[in-house]
Every structure is written in C-alpha cells, then in structure tokens.
C-alpha cells in the first residue's frame, strides 16, 4: 500500500479547502499560506499546554555528558537536547561501545521519597521524567561516568511546524483534526468561507475524542519497571496510561 505524503503546506491547503477557498487546480497564495501557518502554530502552542495534545511516537538519540544528571528537551535556545517536549517516556537505553544497558523509569514522587546519592557517579540505573511549560527534563539517579549513547522512545508533543515540514509521523486522526481546527479558526477571517453546523459538529466530536484519549497520561506504573536496570536483555513492558 502506498503511503500518502503529508506536509504542513498540505494541511493548510486542506483547511482552506474545507472553507471552499482553495481548489487543487491552482496554488494557494503565499499570503494565505503564511497566515495559515501562523494560525496553525498558534493552535499547536495552545494544544501543547492543554489536555488536547497533538502527540506522536518517536525515538531520540543523544549522548550523555559525564557528571551531568539532568537533561532538558526543548526547541527553545539553551536546551540540552533539541527536541519537542516529551510527555510519555516509554523506554530508555544507554550504550557503551557494543554493550547496551536498560534504565528503569520511575515516577518523580518515588524518586524524591526514596534514598539516593546526589553525587554518586557511575552507570545510571534509574531515571524519571518531569514536564514544565515549554520543556521536559530527564534526570538520572546517578551521574554518568562516561558519555554513554542514550536512546529514548516516547510520545512527543508537536508544538510548532515550519512550511513544507513533513507531518507523516503525526497520527492520521490528529492530522484530520488539525485541518478541521485550522479551518474553524480561519472561517471568521475570510469572507466567502463556508463553515456550517455540520462542520462545527464534526469538529466538536473530534475535539472530544482527542481530549479523552487516555494514552496522553504521563504516569508510569512503578510495578512495570524494568527488572535489573543495569542488566542485559529485553526492554520489558511499560504502562503508558
């Protein structure tokens, strides 16, 4: 089956098409494309700070820094890792040469209520995820003694896009919802646009479904922690909400 390519430009065109302001036999004007991008990013920024997050599963790889326990993930300047915000951490693996190590994921409440050694340096065995507006922070129980390669898999929030950016990684339902939400936003700004009661009902139904999606929870089940965080073998199972 051939997969459809999807980009931010196509999403904006789709929104104008819903409003009967665009047909495929002519290009969407630069002014409308630029304005569509502005309002699309405004919507994404709003959803990123609400329960209705536009999220996608992905992997991220970066190197740990010796003696640095915490790492910020953000698109903002100054972050340790250039990445969208991480809302669910599914697994984390460290690698040294040809050997990989699984790291236990725990809730921050368990970490702060447990026993640890602030200045201990070695192979990190546990970590936890914390979120703040605009960035995420992953903290390891031990400071890494060397520059381990770090691979994480989780659910990331789409908070902004650029023109011609691929959106193939975004789930189909979220893509369709964004088209509808953007069309709704643009409807009052363009004369001659069509946004009727059926369009509004469909948007509200999609918004309700998006808000109720349970896998946006960032709670990790301590009972599903990896056994033997410094051991070899399977990654184990996690509860993502």
Q: Are 52 and 149 in contact (CB under 8 A)?
A: no
Largest distance between two CA atoms of the chain? 66
The residues near 209 (Cβ < 8 Å, ≥ 6 apart) are: 173
pTM: 0.75
Residue 90 has pLDDT above 80, yes or no: yes
Higher pLDDT, 213 or 145: 145
Higher pLDDT, 223 or 35: 35
If you compute the radius of gyration of the chain from its CA atoms, what whole number of angstroms results? 21
pLDDT in tens, 188-206: 898 889 999 999 999 999 9
For residues 38 and 137, what is the distance between their CA atoms, to the nearest angstrom?
28
Would you call 127 helix, strand, or coil by DSSP?
strand
Residue 42 has pLDDT above 80, yes or no: yes
Per-residue pLDDT band for 238 (boundaries 50, 70, 90) equals very low
Per-residue pLDDT band for 26 (boundaries 50, 70, 90) equals confident
Pairing of strands 99-102, 143-144: unpaired
For residues 81 and 74, what is the distance between their CA atoms, to the nearest angstrom?
7
Residue 74 has pLDDT above 80, yes or no: yes
pLDDT in tens, 120-171: 899 999 888 988 878 899 999 889 999 999 999 999 999 999 999 999 989 8
Residues 205-222, mean pLDDT to the nearest whole number: 60
Token pair 């960035």 is found at 135
């Amino acid at each position: 089956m051939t997969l459809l390519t999807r980009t931010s430009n196509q999403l904006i065109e789709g929104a104008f098409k819903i409003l009967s302001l665009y047909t495929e036999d002519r290009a969407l004007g630069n002014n409308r494309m630029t304005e569509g991008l502005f309002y699309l990013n405004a919507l994404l920024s709003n959803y990123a700070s609400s329960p209705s997050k536009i999220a996608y599963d992905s992997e991220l790889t970066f190197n740990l820094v010796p003696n640095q326990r915490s790492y910020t993930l953000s698109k903002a300047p100054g972050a340790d890792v250039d990445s969208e915000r991480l809302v669910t951490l599914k697994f984390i693996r460290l690698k040294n040469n040809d050997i990989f190590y699984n790291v236990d994921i725990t809730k921050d409440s368990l970490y702060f209520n447990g026993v640890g050694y602030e200045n201990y340096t070695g192979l990190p065995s546990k970590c936890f995820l914390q979120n703040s507006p605009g960035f995420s922070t992953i903290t390891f129980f031990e400071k890494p003694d060397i520059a381990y390669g770090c691979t994480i898999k989780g659910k990331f929030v789409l908070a902004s896009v650029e023109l011609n950016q691929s959106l193939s990684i975004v789930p189909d339902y979220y893509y369709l919802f964004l088209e509808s939400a953007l069309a709704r936003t643009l409807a009052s700004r363009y004369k001659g646009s069509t946004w009727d009661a059926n369009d509004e009902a469909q948007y509200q139904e999609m918004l309700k479904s998006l808000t109720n999606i349970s896998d946006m929870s960032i709670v990790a089940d301590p009972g599903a922690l990896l056994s033997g965080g410094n051991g070899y073998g399977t990654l184990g199972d996690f509860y993502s909400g």
